[in-house]
Amino acid sequence: MTDRTDPQDAPRLDDHPGEGAVRGTQRMEIFVDAVFAIAFTLPMVEIKLPEAGPHFGAELLALWPQYLGYGLSAVVIGIYWVHHHFSGAIYRTTGHHFLLATILFLIAIGFIAFPTRAFTEHIHEPEARETGAIFYTCALAATNLTWLIKWRTGRLTGDVDARLDKAYVERLTRKYNLTAALMVTAAALVFVRWEAGLALAAAVTLFYLRAPETPVYVTEAPTVEGEG
Amino acid sequence: MTDRTDPQDAPRLDDHPGEGAVRGTQRMEIFVDAVFAIAFTLPMVEIKLPEAGPHFGAELLALWPQYLGYGLSAVVIGIYWVHHHFSGAIYRTTGHHFLLATILFLIAIGFIAFPTRAFTEHIHEPEARETGAIFYTCALAATNLTWLIKWRTGRLTGDVDARLDKAYVERLTRKYNLTAALMVTAAALVFVRWEAGLALAAAVTLFYLRAPETPVYVTEAPTVEGEG
Amino acid sequence: MTDRTDPQDAPRLDDHPGEGAVRGTQRMEIFVDAVFAIAFTLPMVEIKLPEAGPHFGAELLALWPQYLGYGLSAVVIGIYWVHHHFSGAIYRTTGHHFLLATILFLIAIGFIAFPTRAFTEHIHEPEARETGAIFYTCALAATNLTWLIKWRTGRLTGDVDARLDKAYVERLTRKYNLTAALMVTAAALVFVRWEAGLALAAAVTLFYLRAPETPVYVTEAPTVEGEG
Amino acid sequence: MTDRTDPQDAPRLDDHPGEGAVRGTQRMEIFVDAVFAIAFTLPMVEIKLPEAGPHFGAELLALWPQYLGYGLSAVVIGIYWVHHHFSGAIYRTTGHHFLLATILFLIAIGFIAFPTRAFTEHIHEPEARETGAIFYTCALAATNLTWLIKWRTGRLTGDVDARLDKAYVERLTRKYNLTAALMVTAAALVFVRWEAGLALAAAVTLFYLRAPETPVYVTEAPTVEGEG
């Protein structure tokens, strides 16, 4: 799709014919990081301050499922942000279709706090807790699928940095494929046995607390330009 | 309005006399992208978590018009963002009047989720749905007009990149004019037959899922500076 | 306070002894522009969608004071943003005390939508409208004073670009002083005759729709680096 | 952990083996500053506009504990932002574990407005005020601990700028250790005598209104690249 001859070249505005103005990744990150930041912080408005009264302290403590909802949602969004931040060094340009796939991913990120709360805020009530766990697990799986769609789109459109070692890119693809397969399994399992489905989805998500593999470049690794 | 002689030159702070400190587009994009991001994510706070109870699952499913409102609003804002992101490669500077036109456009972007919800959240109720569709279609048309005003202002003030091929800029102008004309038609039609008006506005909006034409430069296309 | 000898030099991290790590203005603008963007967009959450019913259309129209509140707040914040964006070309560095003054200014920006709504949402009710107008005018004046404090702090700490013509900086100072004096006058007047006080504050604010004077540099005007 | 030989070199993407794509600090700051900005501004949505009526003015004045809550929360978040902004000149890269520590810190920043309001909004009621003060002081101490964790992580992972004078970095570490120790003391004291605990936490926080020590570099201080 591109006629780039030297992978060391900086991206050019006219590089992807038919894909509009292809630009570097930096500018896209402003919008993406702002959506991440709002999705991360916004759930705090759902926690209502109790009225003053003799049980004010106990009521503050009793809000722990809501604090948990905020914290859990922030951890999941935070993990996705760290990996998105990482992949910002993997992509080199942002074509039109890659931006659309990013929008889809961000719709999932903006939504995820809601199913998180459906689970955590009803954690005391067996029936609602199970329903919440199903909703939450399915939402985690759907979010993961949008990540995979974004990755696949980026590969198809040539937005992934051409200087990366092909085997390295292949390993990332396999890792994302496997993750998505496990998340879909969790979403199926949660309907059968909710604790197992949720535990699998949580384990897969927490696995991403580990640092991703350092990128391997065929050509000499680029310096981080414009970043003091 | 400017006495720029070499279109290859970087923009200078003193380039547009009488227009204040004209700056490159990058810094403006922080504010604009942040408004886009908030408008995109904020509607989630309107979706209230149902109480726990025997019908918790059914109640979560019954919220689908609200999920639809969030998703629809995010898709429309996302499409505008992608094209704004694209046009960030079309503009080269941001003069005072262009910034004011941008503010007007952002007021529309920040507002659009409300008429979206007026339609989607009352989708079950024939009368309110029609009123909502009218409101929504008119809001989509008004938003589109602010886009056109922004574009025309940018052209008038000389903020559009002077290195672009004139025929290319002309094609963009015709496209934006035609879009606005169709949206105004939709806004008139919706009062006569709401399904037709809304469908036209939706079709025009979804047309923008297609990638815009790659910019054509008279002089050699610039590289994307400062974007690794 | 600095021993900078050549005003053409780029700012250095160790330039302002005793003021911590003085940095260029770009990074500060991320936070500032994000606060502007949230203050701009957040008031939309205060507009509640009416229930469906036979008067849904009329109820949507009857919300006009709330739409006005959103729009008015956005226009005022937008004007401040445009001038802040402009002054981002006037400042060259951001020392510790300048950042603190910026925080004060942003507290006012984040607050301004509330007194705006106190006026617009009670515009039908004579007594509350007068109280709202007093609150709003005082808030506009207070916001303007924080702007002046920020400007004076920036001058005192040497964060204003040393390459600017001294007479130009002097004209800006006089303009900001005069504006603040008029706003304080409006805030006094509004207690006597609310229409007059509010009108004066509005006139002064709308005056800033005009483009600021183009910066005048003693040395050759710098190009906008890092902005494609 | 790194084999960097010349501290003057720009950071490289492959610099920290096993830590993913290590990047400069600029891109991380977009997300971080956006979270700061939302945490700063969001508490405004908690202040509800009183209904119109004969006591509208008095009711607006009676909201002062809520205005105080917004202002106090903004001041504390603002102080942390100024020092985070400062430390953005201290760090040079952002490895995976440093990003995770940053997420933890941001969870605390996004939360802090809630305990602030628990104190200020019940300031009239002796019992609830004491409970609120305990909650607030503990939250301030916890936030400070996440700051220390972030700092220690940054030192361990080698993300702190290697060009800084070792004694300077040591002084910062001692300062942050001492601060955390005082905050933990305040959090213990507040259970015994709430006024004393809160006063200590407030005093330590306000101490940070003072400018931090200017960074001392072993090698020549770097210019602020890419910042006009």
Average pLDDT over residues D185-214: 96
Q: Which residues of D touch C107 (CB under 8 A)?
A: 70-71, 74-75, 78
pLDDT at site D29? 85
Q: Which residues of D touch B226 (CB under 8 A)?
A: 226
Residue B94 backbone phi and psi in degrees, to 5: -135, 100
**Measured between CA atoms, how close is B154 to chain C, in angstroms?**
15
pLDDT at site D81? 95
Q: Which residues of C touch A37 (CB under 8 A)?
A: 34
The overall average pLDDT reported for chain D is: 87
Is the per-residue pLDDT at A22 higher than 80? no
Q: A227 and B228: CB-CB below 8 Å? A: yes
- Write the pLDDT tens digit of every residue in C97-125: 999 999 999 999 999 999 999 999 999 99
* Placement of tokens 């949580």 in the chain: A202
Average pLDDT over residues B127-152: 97
Q: Which residues pair with C217 in a beta bridge?
A: C164
A23 to chain C: nearest residue by CA?
C228
**Measured between CA atoms, how close is D7 to chain C, in angstroms?**
16
Neighbours of chain A (3+ CB pairs under 8 A): B, C, D
- Chain D interface, mutation test: which of C131, C136, C153, most D Cβ atoms within 10 Å? C131
pLDDT at site C85? 83
Residue A23: which H helix or E strand, with range? strand A23-24
List, as ranges, residues 177-216 from A with C-beta within 8 Å of D: 209, 211-216
pLDDT at site C17? 43
For residue A65 the two structure tokens come to: 């499922």
The overall average pLDDT reported for chain A is: 87
**Measured between CA atoms, how close is B219 to chain A, in angstroms?**
12
Looking at per-residue pLDDT, the higher value among C215 and A50 belongs to A50
In angstroms, the CA C214 to CA A22 distance is 33
Residue A164 backbone phi and psi in degrees, to 5: -75, 145
Q: B110 and C33: CB-CB below 8 Å? A: no
Looking at per-residue pLDDT, the higher value among C186 and A4 belongs to C186
Expressed in percent and rounded to 5, the helix, strand and coil fractions of chain D are 65, 5, 30
Partner residue opposite C226 with nearest CB, options A34, A37, A226: A226
pLDDT at site B27? 72
Is the per-residue pLDDT at A20 higher than 70? no
Looking at per-residue pLDDT, the higher value among C227 and D215 belongs to D215
pLDDT at site D149? 97
In angstroms, the CA C17 to CA C24 distance is 15
Q: Which residues of B touch D37 (CB under 8 A)?
A: 34
Percent of chain D topping pLDDT 70: 85
- Chain D interface, mutation test: which of C2, C27, C156, most D Cβ atoms within 10 Å? C27
Average pLDDT over residues B14-36: 71
List, as ranges, residues 83-122 from D with C-beta within 8 Å of C: 85-90
Q: Which residues of A touch C34 (CB under 8 A)?
A: 34, 37
Partner residue opposite A211 with nearest CB, options D10, D19, D135: D19
Is the per-residue pLDDT at C175 higher than 90? yes
Confidence label for B90 from pLDDT (cuts 50, 70 and 90): confident
Q: A37 and D38: CB-CB below 8 Å? A: yes
List, as ranges, residues 27-56 from B with C-beta within 8 Å of D: 34, 37
A30 to chain C: nearest residue by CA?
C30
Q: Which residues of B touch C89 (CB under 8 A)?
A: 13, 21, 23
pLDDT at site C2? 34
Considering only the C-alpha atoms of chain B, give the largest distance between any 2 of them, rounded to a whole number of Å.
Answer: 74
> Residue B42, Cβ neighbours under 10 Å: how many?
21
3-state secondary structure of D145: helix
Is the per-residue pLDDT at D6 higher than 50? no
DSSP annotation of B125 reads S
**Measured between CA atoms, how close is A226 to chain C, in angstroms?**
8
Is C216 buried (19+), middle (13-18) or exposed (0-12) by CB count in 10 A?
middle
Is the per-residue pLDDT at A224 higher than 90? no
For residue D8 the two structure tokens come to: 């003057």
Q: B56 and A122: CB-CB below 8 Å? A: yes
Complex ipTM, two decimals?
0.88
**Measured between CA atoms, how close is B62 to chain C, in angstroms?**
16
- Write the pLDDT tens digit of every residue in C136-158: 999 999 999 999 999 999 999 88
pLDDT at site A161? 84
Q: Which residues of A touch D113 (CB under 8 A)?
A: 44
pLDDT at site A198? 98
Confidence label for D171 from pLDDT (cuts 50, 70 and 90): very high
- Alpha-carbon distance values, C92 to A44, B140, D224 (Å): 36, 41, 11
Looking at per-residue pLDDT, the higher value among D25 and C180 belongs to C180
DSSP annotation of D102 reads H
> Residue B68, Cβ neighbours under 10 Å: how many?
16
Is the per-residue pLDDT at A74 higher than 80? yes
Percent of chain D topping pLDDT 90: 68
Is the per-residue pLDDT at A228 higher than 70? no
3-state secondary structure of B164: strand
3-state secondary structure of D201: helix
pLDDT at site D218? 84
- Write the pLDDT tens digit of every residue in C64-102: 999 999 999 999 999 999 998 887 778 888 889 999 999
Average pLDDT over residues C30-50: 96
Is A68 buried (19+), middle (13-18) or exposed (0-12) by CB count in 10 A?
middle
Residue among A59, A58, A147, A50 nearest A106 (CA) = A147
Residue among D113, D104, D105, D110 nearest D84 (CA) = D105
Q: Which residues of A touch D16 (CB under 8 A)?
A: 214
**Measured between CA atoms, how close is A184 to chain C, in angstroms?**
35
3-state secondary structure of D42: helix
Looking at per-residue pLDDT, the higher value among B13 and D93 belongs to D93
